[in-house]
Amino acid sequence: MDLSQVKLIATDMDGTLLNSESRVSNRFFELFEELNRHGISFVAASGRQYHSIVAKLESIRDDITIIAENGAITKRRDKDLLVTPLPGHIIKETVSLLRPVEDAYMVLCGKKRAYIDTDNPAFENMFREYYYEYAKVPDLTQVTDDEPLKIAIYSFGGSEKNIYPHVRHLEGSLQVKVSGENWLDLSSPDANKGHALQQLQEQLQITREETLVFGDYNNDLEMMDRAYFSYAMKNAHPNVLNAARYQTLSNDENGVEHILEKLLNARKAAIANS
């Protein structure tokens, strides 16, 4: 394993770069500056809204690429690099399908902002952690002045158990992803982190063998396939642990930072020996 050859790093946010308190460590920002000096490109890839990711990484926002909404949109310095919208008719069909389901709280994720039509205060309080730009509307199906990217569904009781059985039949026509313990996302078939990362690799002319990724949940699986150096967090879903080539410490043990330190040490050693 020669980490000194890595030119591109992509990491998930929740459960990966963020600790259980949804914070990025100070050590990460120190390591990022070193990565930047070595010319290594960095990507934050998340199911979160673009504005939410920027809020977590504000000090380095102009030096990174952001893959948001599970790959539906890729941006760098507020410039769109890739946008994969959700077909409009899907919104009405999905809302009608899930409206009767108990403990299913829907979010329409648009390019401008997110939209909710629930009055549940517990959901709204939790929701604000992930969505910084949003509006409450009377009916999600009546939003017409934004480009839809994704429908996210939250279940307090667990997305895999409570939501997935109701939408699994949509797989194939849509991207159906259990993206966290409580979240499930519906998006265009081409909207995933792996497809977005592949497009970026092609633009930067960086190979799979020069790419390192970190992830913890099912929405990271396609991204894992785009990197030789694929790392699952110790706290990862079993599917991710099986798919990844390597494993690191948990998100609360600075697992990402642990590997970044190894990478930088390998890069310095390679330079010293050249």
Q: What is the CATH number of the domain that holds 152?
A: 3.30.1240.10
Domain count, the chain: 2
Q: Which residue has the tokens 């699952």?
A: 232
Domain that holds residue 180: 88-187
Q: Are residues 180 and 98 in the same domain?
A: yes
Q: Are residues 77 and 196 in the same domain?
A: yes
Residue 89 has pLDDT above 90, yes or no: no
> What average pLDDT score do residues 135-146 get?
94
Of the three residues 187, 216, 240, the one that is the final residue of a domain is: 187
> What average pLDDT score do residues 39-43 get?
97
Q: Which residue has the tokens 């999600």?
A: 140
| CATH number, domain containing residue 239 | 3.40.50.1000
Residue 239 tokens, joined: 């599917």
pLDDT digits (tens, 9 = 90+) for 48-58: 999 999 999 99
pTM higher than the cut 0.85: yes
How confident is the model at residue 274, as a pLDDT?
A: 78
Q: Are residues 143 and 224 in the same domain?
A: no
Residue 176 has pLDDT above 90, yes or no: yes
Q: Are residues 142 and 105 in the same domain?
A: yes
What percent of the chain lies above the pLDDT cut of 70?
100
> What average pLDDT score do residues 179-189 get?
93
Q: Are residues 92 and 182 in the same domain?
A: yes
List, in sequence order, every residue forming a beta bridge with 17; answer none if it has no partner.
none
Q: Are residues 113 and 73 in the same domain?
A: no
How far is it, in rounded angstroms, from Cα 98 to Cα 120?
16
- Average predicted confidence (pLDDT) for the chain: 95
Closest to 72 in 3D by CA, of 204, 179, 230: 179
Residue 269 tokens, joined: 């050693």
Of the three residues 187, 220, 237, the one that is the final residue of a domain is: 187
Read off the pLDDT band of 225 (50, 70, 90): very high
> What average pLDDT score do residues 135-155 get?
95
Residue 1 has pLDDT above 80, yes or no: no
Q: Are residues 95 and 134 in the same domain?
A: yes
Of the three residues 187, 203, 231, the one that is the final residue of a domain is: 187
